[in-house]
Structure 1
Amino acid sequence: MKSALAVEHLQELVRIPTISRVDPSATEWTEFDRFAQTLRKLYPLCHSRLERETVLDHSLLFRWRGRASTEPAVLMGHYDVVAATDEGWKRPPFAAELSGKGDEQLIWGRGTLDDKGSVVAILEAVEAQLEAGLVPAQDIYLCFGHDEETHGTGASAIVDLLESRGVKPTLVLDEGGAIVDDVFDQVDAPMAVVGVAEKGTATLRLTVDQSGGHASTPPKFPAAVRLAQAIVRLNSRPFPSRLTATGADLMRLLGEHAGGMTGYLLRNVSWTKPFLLPILVRKSDELAAMMRTTQAVTMLEGGHAVNAMPERVSAIINVRIAVNSSLDETLAHVTRAINDKRVRVSVDSPGEPSPVSATSGLAWELLRSTIEKSFPGTIVTPYVQNGATDSRHFTRISNGVYRFTPFAMAREVRDTLHARNERMLVSSYLDGIEFYRSLIASL
C-alpha cells in the first residue's frame, strides 16, 4: 500500500506544470506555489519536524537536525521542469499516466526523470524515516531549487545562505548519473555512474553584421551565408579527444569486468589511450561527449522581412567544456575553426568546469557502499557529467559534491530527458526511495 501511495504522490506532483522560463515574468509562479502547498499536504512530518525556509520566493530549504552538525549532508534536486506541450507525446506530459504492469509499469510525464522523481523520492524516504523515529547522526539539509533549468539562482542563493551560517557539508548529492547497462556492451554488469565533476556550460554567440538592402539585389556574399559557412567550419572541427584522470579511472575499472582485447585496452589505458580514444569516440555520441568539449548550434537569429537582407545574423552555440579545459581554450578553438574575422565571437553566458570531487574518503565510501547495498552486483564508477546541475554552486562550500540519480535508466529512457515522452519505470522510482532511506540511515 505504501508503494502505491508513493506512486500517487509522484503523479500528483508531476501534474503540476512547474515550467521555468528564461524570462521570469513569463513563468506561472502560481504553479510553483501550488507545488509547495501540495508538499505540505503530502509530507506533513517533513513540514512539522524539520525547519523549513523559502529562498528567493520559491526554492525550498529544509534542515533536519541530527545529533551533531559537524559533518552535515545535503540531499538536493529541483522541481522546475522544461516546457512541454501535448504535441508529439504518446501520453500528455502533465497527466502522469501509468502504463504496463509489474516490473514493466511506467509513469509518464515531464519531470519524472528530471527531476521531480528524485525530489519526491527524497521526501518519501525522509517522511518514512521520521515516521520510524530516526534521528540522524548529523544534520541533513534538503535543498530543492526552483530554476535549475534556466538560471540556477535558487540554488546559488541557498549556498549563499548556508555559507553565511558556516555550513560546510561533507556530502552533497544531486541528480546526475544513473544505473545503466548499455554504455559498454563488453561489460555485462549494470553500472552506477557517479558524477564527481561536471563540464562547464557556456553560451557563445556568432554574429555577422552587414548593410541591409532589398532581397532583389543581394550581395555576392550575404551575412547569412557567411554565418552558415562559419557554422559548417566549426561543426567539421570537433574539439580534440582527451582522457581525464577520472576518465582513466573509469576505463581501468571497466577493464576489470571486460574480457578479450577490449578489457586489455581498458585495463592498460595509461599507454593504450592513443588506440582506445578513437574507438570510444566512434562508438556513440554519449561516449564521444565524455571525451571532449562539445559544441552544438541551438539557435539561429536574423532577418525581419521576407524581402529584405538581414543587417545582423547570429547563431547561439552551446558548449560543454571538459574538466581538463577552460573557457579561454574553448574560445580559441572556436575562433581558429571559424577562421573569419567578419564573424564576431562573444560570450553570452560563461561557465567553467567544476572541481573534481574525490573518489576516496568518507563521503565517497558512504555513497559507494549505499549504492552497492541498494543495487547488488552494480559496478560503481566515477565519471564527468556532461550536463549542468544546481550542485555546481555547492562546490563553494563542499569538497564532496556528487551527482547520482538512483534510478535504472535504459538508453531509450535517457533519450527522453528534455524531450518528448519522458517516462520512468515505477520499479526504478521505488528502488530510488529505498536507496535514499538507506543513505539517510547511514549519514
Structure 2
Amino acid sequence: MATSVDRFRELLRIPTVSHADETLTDWARFSEFEAALERLYPATHEHLTREVIDSHSLLYRWPGVTSIEPLVLMAHIDVVPVVESEWTHAPFGAEIIGEGAQAEIHGRGTIDDKGSLVAIFEAVEQLCAEGYVPQHDIYLAFGHNEEIAGSGAQALVAELRERGIRPALVLDEGGAVVQDVVPGVTAPTAMVGVAERGVMTLLLTASEGGGHASTPPAMPATARLARAIDRLRRRPFPTRLASPVRAMLTTLAPHAPQPLRGLFGSLGLTGPLVAAAFSRFGPEMNAIVRTTAVATELSGAPGENVLATSARASVNVRLLTGDSVASATQRVRRVINDPNVDVTVRHGSDPSPVSPWRGEAWRRISSAVSISLGDEIVTTPYLQLGASDSRWFTAISDHVYRFTPFHLTRAERDALHSHNERIRVEVWLRGIGFYRALIEAS
C-alpha cells in the first residue's frame, strides 16, 4: 500500500514547470498532475467538490456544518524551471537520500510549494476517511501559475467573491519554523507572515545618438546608465521598522538575551537603532527593515563595436510596508538625478494590508503550531519578503496569513528557486499534522 511519502514522491516527479512565456509551458503535465491527485486521494474527491478555474487552477469545497466564515488553505501547483546539470540528484527524481532522521527527499517543489500542497491533501484525506465533518466550510485553493505572478489566484478570488464568500482565515505559503534568524534569538520560531512586501519593476533607459564605438562621446548611454545604477546602490532606501517587524521583535524580546531583550522591548526609543543595526546583519535582515532595489536585466548595443542608442536596466524593487509604487518611483528619480535617464514603472503592486496578530484567526494558527510542531516553538508575526498568491485574497478577507509548517535550516531555505531543493522526510510528515490540527480547530 502506498504511503504518504510514496504519494508525495509521485507528485514531485510530475514537472509542472511554469514559464514567463506560457507558450513554453507543458500544460499536459498539469493535467497529469490533476488526474494523479484524483487517483491518489479518493476520499478527498468523494467528499469535496472540485472545480477547474482559469484552465488549471483548482478550487475544492469541503462542506461544513455552516458555510459562513470558511477556512481557505492555499498552495500552488507550478514550480520554477531547473538547470539539471547543477543538481546533485535528478530534480524530478524525488530520490530519498540518507536514513532515519537525516533522510531527505530531493526534488523541485519539495518546499516550494508541493510540500504544502501534498501535506494539505494528506491531512484532508485522513480526516475524510475518518468521517470528519468540519464545523465551517473549507476551501482548498491551488493556483497554477504563481511563480510567474499569473492569473490563477486572481481568478480563484474572483470566483469566491462572485459567490459572496468572505473567509475567516486564509493560509498560504510563507515563513517557516527557523532558528538563529533574528539576532540573539536561538529559540525555534514559527514565522507567520501577516503581510508581504509590494513588488515592482522599474525600467531605466538612457539614450544617445549612437554611432561607431571607435569614437565614443564623453558620457555614452551605457556609462550614464551605469552611473544611475551605482547611485541607487550607494543611496539605498532608509531603514525603519514596519509594524509587522515591530510586532515580531516585541514577541521575541522575552526569548533574547540582554541587552537585546531591552532593545527589542523598548522599540519606541530604540527602533531607529535596531533598524540600522539589522541592515548590517546580512541580506535577509536588511530586507525586513527597508525597501530594496536592485538592477537585474541589462541591455545595450546590438554589437560589440556599436554605441548603444538606448541602454536599459530593469530594477526590481520590493516595497516595505508603508511605502508605495508611487513613493518609491519618486525617490528613485530623485536619487538618480539625471534628466537623461528615463524612469518608468513596468509593473507594480503596493504592499499587502497587514493582518492582525491577535484574535481568533491568529489563535488557531498558533494553537496548531503548538499541537503539531511543539510547545517550545514561538509563533511570531513576520513580514514576508517575497510575493505570493495570498496577496490577491486580501480583497475578500482581513485575515490572510503566510506560513509553511516545516522546520527548515538555512541551507534548505537557500535551495529555494536554486538547485538541490530538498526537505527532510520527518519534517514534511510533521507538517501534515499542522494542517490537520488547523482544520480541526476550524
Q: TM-score range by the shorter chain?
A: over 0.9
Unmatched tracts of structure 1, length 5 or more: none
Instruction: In structure 1, give the amino acid aligned to 2:404.
Output: T
Deviation of 1:184 after TM superposition, in Å, equals: 2.6
Instruction: In structure 2, give the amino acid aligned to 1:364.
Output: W
**Distance in 2, Cα, partners of 1:250 & 1:185:** 12
TM-score norm. by structure 1 comes to: 0.97
Q: Please tell me whether the aligned partners of residues 240 and 276 of structure 2 are also in contact (alpha carbons under 8 angstroms).
A: no
- Residue in 2 aligned with 1:213? 211
Q: Deviations over 1:307-353 (max 9, x none)?
A: 22222121111111011111111112211111111111111111100
Instruction: In structure 2, give the amino acid aligned to 1:325.
Output: D
**Distance in 1, Cα, partners of 2:295 & 2:4:** 40
Answer yes or no: is 1:414 the counterpart of 2:404.
no
**Distance in 2, Cα, partners of 1:10 & 1:280:** 38
- Residue in 1 aligned with 2:355? 357
Deviation of 1:389 after TM superposition, in Å, equals: 0.5
Q: Deviations over 1:223-282 (max 9, x none)?
A: 111111111111111110111222112111211111221111111111112322222111
**Distance in 1, Cα, partners of 2:327 & 2:42:** 50
SS in structure 1 of the partner of residue 386 of structure 2: coil
- Residue in 2 aligned with 1:335? 333
Q: Please tell me whether the aligned partners of residues 108 and 421 of structure 1 are also in contact (alpha carbons under 8 angstroms).
A: yes
Q: Which moved more, 1:299-308 or 1:96-105?
A: 299-308
Q: Deviations over 1:176-231 (max 9, x none)?
A: 01100020352231000100011101111111122221222222221111111111
Please give the residue correspondences for 1:126-275 in structure 2 after superposition, counting only pairs within 5 Å.
126-275=124-273
Please give the residue correspondences for 1:79-94 in structure 2 after superposition, counting only pairs within 5 Å.
79-94=77-92
- Residue in 1 aligned with 2:106? 108
Instruction: In structure 1, give the amino acid aligned to 2:378.
Output: I
SS in structure 2 of the partner of residue 240 of structure 1: coil
Q: Which moved more, 1:208-217 or 1:321-330?
A: 208-217
**Distance in 2, Cα, partners of 1:276 & 1:108:** 38
Q: Please tell me whether the aligned partners of residues 180 and 187 of structure 2 are also in contact (alpha carbons under 8 angstroms).
A: no
Q: Deviations over 1:62-114 (max 9, x none)?
A: 00000101110100000101110212211121111111111111111111111
Deviation of 1:371 after TM superposition, in Å, equals: 0.9
Please give the residue correspondences for 1:311-350 in structure 2 after superposition, counting only pairs within 5 Å.
311-350=309-348
Unmatched tracts of structure 2, length 5 or more: none
TM-score norm. by structure 2 comes to: 0.97
Instruction: In structure 1, give the amino acid aligned to 2:411.
Output: E
Deviation of 1:306 after TM superposition, in Å, equals: 2.2
**Distance in 1, Cα, partners of 2:317 & 2:96:** 36
- Residue in 2 aligned with 1:378? 377
Identity of aligned residues (%): 47
**Distance in 2, Cα, partners of 1:10 & 1:296:** 36
Q: Which moved more, 1:267-276 or 1:170-179?
A: 267-276
Q: Which moved more, 1:206-215 or 1:426-435?
A: 206-215
Q: CA RMSD in A?
A: 1.2
Runs of 4+ in structure 1 over 3 Å off: none
**Distance in 1, Cα, partners of 2:314 & 2:9:** 36
SS in structure 2 of the partner of residue 282 of structure 1: coil
Instruction: In structure 2, give the amino acid aligned to 1:145.
Output: G
Q: Please tell me whether the aligned partners of residues 182 and 411 of structure 1 are also in contact (alpha carbons under 8 angstroms).
A: no
Instruction: In structure 1, give the amino acid aligned to 2:427.
Output: S
- Residue in 1 aligned with 2:426? 427
